[in-house]
Chains A and B, each alone.
Chain A
Amino acid sequence: MVEDEEDHAKLSIKLLERVGYEVIWKENAKDAIEAYKNHPFTLCLLDIMLPDMNGDELISELFAIPKEIKPVILAVTAHAIEGLSNNLLAKGFDGYIIKPFEMREFMETVKKHMVL
């Protein structure tokens, strides 16, 4: 998970760890790319407005890294703009979650993608 808002990160970690997921949290794109290289992730949750990179750039950086099993990549954003969803899917995101989200909705989305 890449998330620069500490509160948001803590909230998601709390929800995810509770049901047994292991979460690695990075606060910026640079650290996230480093972590991506070294861990076999199942799912990536990317905040698309990071201090050092936007979502488009980050996902293309991640795609450039060779991986045996490509993880599912979801965008997480507090932006609610018309056309955003199509834009994200076109950029290669497998899905997106809009903040504020409800706990159940968040967990369902994560669960769905962890099974895929």
Chain B
Amino acid sequence: MGCPFHRSKKTPSDNLARRFFSSITKGESPILSVILDNTIDAIICIDEKGCILFFSKTAEKMLGYLSSEILGENVSILMPQPFADQHDGYIDAYLKTGEKKIIDTGREIAAKKKDGTVFPARLAVSEVFIDGKRVFTGQLSDLSIEKRAQIAEEKSRQIEEQAKIKNAFLTSMSHELRTPLHAMMGFIDCLKEEIDGPLLPEQKDSLERAGAAGKHLLGLINGLLMLSKATRPIFACEKTTCNFLAIVHFCINTMRPLAEKKGIKIIVDFPKTLRLIESDEEGIKQIIFNLLGNAIKFTEKGFINIKIEQVDQSIIMRMKDTGPGIAKENLAHIFFPLTKPFLSDNQSREQGGLGLAITKTIVQCLGGEITVSSKLKSGTEFSVKLPINNKKELNE
């Protein structure tokens, strides 16, 4: 049997190949030869038995065979299974019926390199007659890059879709959770404010606690929402010119009674002057409240030291406490939501919650950085760096 039905290599039987080649490559048509060598597509010609008659330079690069080693081979060598086995049948069917499946139209196929790699490609085939002999000319373009891009695009579309679903879910969940919470907190408020009649001190205390727990729950719901990036209810980051020192003073004054109740001193080390910064005042407040709140919460005795300085175009605030410290293995994920990094020395602590995760999100929204260092039994230091982005100077 001849070439198409045997995979054995056989030189194309007649003069067809020789004539075909010489017309292209041996200078009869130098322009054509240059064109063929420089096409982006690989060009492969076969006879009606499937034997390869011509294999262009691009084909060599694309498929890994040298023209010299592949001429005369059956073209099915360039196809993975099951297409390789079916190929002879295709040509046969075409010759018998004249029904074109690929000729003149082109389609996507899988091609196989010499090293066995299979890649997606587009094949366009045209049919010519040379000296009455049928020659099929195939142009093969490598679609690997396009396919990869397509897959990546599809993936990013899926991720986007998932994010949309997630956000829709979080938004509606937040609404569902806030609705009953509103009634609970509202009526607790009514009782607490003695709208429904006077209360005993113990009753008032109970309601204070219930109300505080409700607020905490609301904070968690808001925090969860904020951590999902698309929906940030509390923090929209509206930048204005801010007096950083004044904001810190405000926060410290608000929190000081809490610290004093525990006998903790807040020591400040502020510069006399500090540049005004272009930032979000509410965001800065939340950062300081969260950090200072934690410091007060976890420090049993000693002090909290807050140092502010200007370094180049940034403001750096360092807040150091004399709390129990955080173990090294917990420090790594301290900014993750709902971790409990404060458990050490058998001390049972309240939940780590969302405070630090939110703090980090806000710092990042403001274009800054937050870092932490800690030593067990000696204390923890948070350092927040915020960009100034402002030319004005303020003297205090």
Using a CB–CB distance below 8 Å, which chain A residues touch chain B?
5, 7-8, 11, 14-15, 18, 49, 78-83, 99-103
Residues of B contacting A80 with CB < 8 Å?
174, 178, 222, 225, 231, 233-234
Q: How many A-B residue pairs have CB under 8 A?
A: 64
Does B171 belong to the interface (CB within 8 Å)? yes
Residues of B contacting A18 with CB < 8 Å?
195
| Assembly CA distance A103 to B225 (angstroms) | 24
Residues of B contacting A100 with CB < 8 Å?
178, 181-182, 185-186, 214, 218
Residues of B contacting A49 with CB < 8 Å?
175
Residues of B contacting A79 with CB < 8 Å?
171, 174-175
Contact A14 B195 (CB under 8 A): yes
**Interface 0/1 of B179-211, CB less than 8 Å to A:** 111110111011001010000000000000000
Among candidates A8, A14, A15, A82, residue contacting B231 with C-beta atoms closer than 8 Å: A82
Contact B193 A82 (CB under 8 A): no
Contact A82 B186 (CB under 8 A): no
Among candidates A7, A15, A102, residue contacting B183 with C-beta atoms closer than 8 Å: A7
| Assembly CA distance A83 to B231 (angstroms) | 9
Residue in A8, A101, A103 whose Cβ sees the most chain B Cβ within 10 Å: A103
Known: A78-B175, A78-B182, A79-B175. 8 other contacts (CB 8 A): A7-B180, A8-B179, A80-B222, A80-B225, A80-B231, A80-B234, A82-B230, A99-B179
Given A7-B183, A15-B190, A103-B190, A81–B171 Cβ distance below 8 Å?
yes
Residues of A contacting B175 with CB < 8 Å?
49, 78-79
| Assembly CA distance A11 to B190 (angstroms) | 8
| Assembly CA distance A44 to B181 (angstroms) | 23
Does B151 belong to the interface (CB within 8 Å)? no
CB distance from A62 to the nearest CB of B (A): 23
Residues of A contacting B230 with CB < 8 Å?
82
19 contacts between A and B (CB under 8 A): A7-B183, A8-B179, A8-B182, A8-B183, A11-B182, A11-B186, A11-B187, A14-B195, A15-B195, A78-B174, A78-B182, A79-B174, A80-B174, A81-B231, A81-B233, A82-B232, A82-B233, A100-B181, A100-B218
Residues of A contacting B185 with CB < 8 Å?
100, 102
Does B236 belong to the interface (CB within 8 Å)? yes
Residues of A contacting B232 with CB < 8 Å?
82
CB distance from A8 to the nearest CB of B (A): 6
**Interface 0/1 of B213-235, CB less than 8 Å to A:** 01000100010010000111110
Contact B190 A78 (CB under 8 A): no
Residues of B contacting A102 with CB < 8 Å?
185, 189
CB distance from A21 to the nearest CB of B (A): 14
**From residue 351 to 392 of chain B, which have CB atoms closer than 8 A to chain A?**
none
Residues of B contacting A14 with CB < 8 Å?
190, 195
Residue in A5, A11, A99, A100 whose Cβ sees the most chain B Cβ within 10 Å: A100
| Assembly CA distance A11 to B186 (angstroms) | 7
Contact A78 B187 (CB under 8 A): no
Considering the complex, give the chain B residue whose CB is closest to the CB of A9. Answer: B183
Considering the complex, give the chain A residue whose CB is closest to the CB of B235. Answer: A82
Contact B179 A78 (CB under 8 A): yes
Given A78-B175, A79-B175, A103–B186 Cβ distance below 8 Å?
yes
CB distance from B359 to the nearest CB of A (A): 19
